Amino acid sequence: MRSRFSLSVFAWLVLVWLLLWGSADPLALLGAVIVALAVLLLFPLPTRRLPLLRPLRLARLAGYVLVDLVTSAVRTSREVLQYGGKVRAAVVAVPVLSDVDHVIATSANLVSLTPDTFVLQIDRRGHVFYVYSLGVRTREEADRAHDQALELQVRVVRALGPAEEAADVHERAHARRKSGAASPERAPGR
């Protein structure tokens, strides 16, 4: 079992304390050490391994996100220029493909990074992202938004997720893709 006491976190807490006090005199240093020890001993941080990085898959993810940024900016511009104030949008329920916090957070942030989508809510118990998607006028466009969010999650899991999730994420996404976009009334896990 790994120790929950991290020397780097201890040093960081001491540094922050000294910066907050604006002084490095012996009394402030003693206070910083006491506060840092108290924080680390009374509120232990959970132990976790660093995520396994796969550089090639991470590069593919970065490329995919760059292309997605450009294409979604073009789609958003076209939608606004074509429909003006009558731009339509929808909230699409998208299944979450991972159980790992940093993978879910990264997926949600990358979905929200593009101009035409935003993760409104993450339902952890139901394993669902509720994604606001701009420019959705038909069921096919809702399915496209659903599938794009799934594809982005697949790439994030393959780049940052644990090996056991990365191994079968494509098949799980493919099974979800066939069902199309779920409405909140029939969201997975409800």
Pairwise CA distance, residues 130 & 114, whole Å: 15
Residue 186 confidence (pLDDT): 44
Residue 104 confidence (pLDDT): 92
The per-residue pLDDT for range 106-159, each reduced to its tens digit, is 999 999 998 889 999 999 899 999 999 998 988 998 999 999 999 999 999 988
Q: Which of 154, 188, 186 is nearest to 171 (CA)?
A: 154
Q: What is the pTM for the complete model shown?
A: 0.68
Query: Above 60 in pLDDT, residue 72?
Result: yes
Residue 52 confidence (pLDDT): 67
Residue 185 confidence (pLDDT): 42
| Burial 146-184, CB ≥16 within 10 A → b, else e | bbbbbebbbbbbbbbbeeebbeebeebbeebbeeebbee
Query: Above 90 in pLDDT, residue 59?
Result: yes
Q: What angle do CA 181, 185, 188 make, to 5 degrees?
A: 60
Distances (CA, A) of 124 to 94, 179, 188, 189, 190: 12, 20, 11, 10, 12
| Burial 18-36, CB ≥16 within 10 A → b, else e | beeeeeeeeebeeebeeeb
For residues 66 and 162, the model is more confident at 66
Helix 101-113 × helix 55-83 angle, to 10°: 40
Mean pLDDT of the chain: 85
Structure tokens at 34: 């006491």
For the residues 75-84, what does the mean pLDDT come to?
90
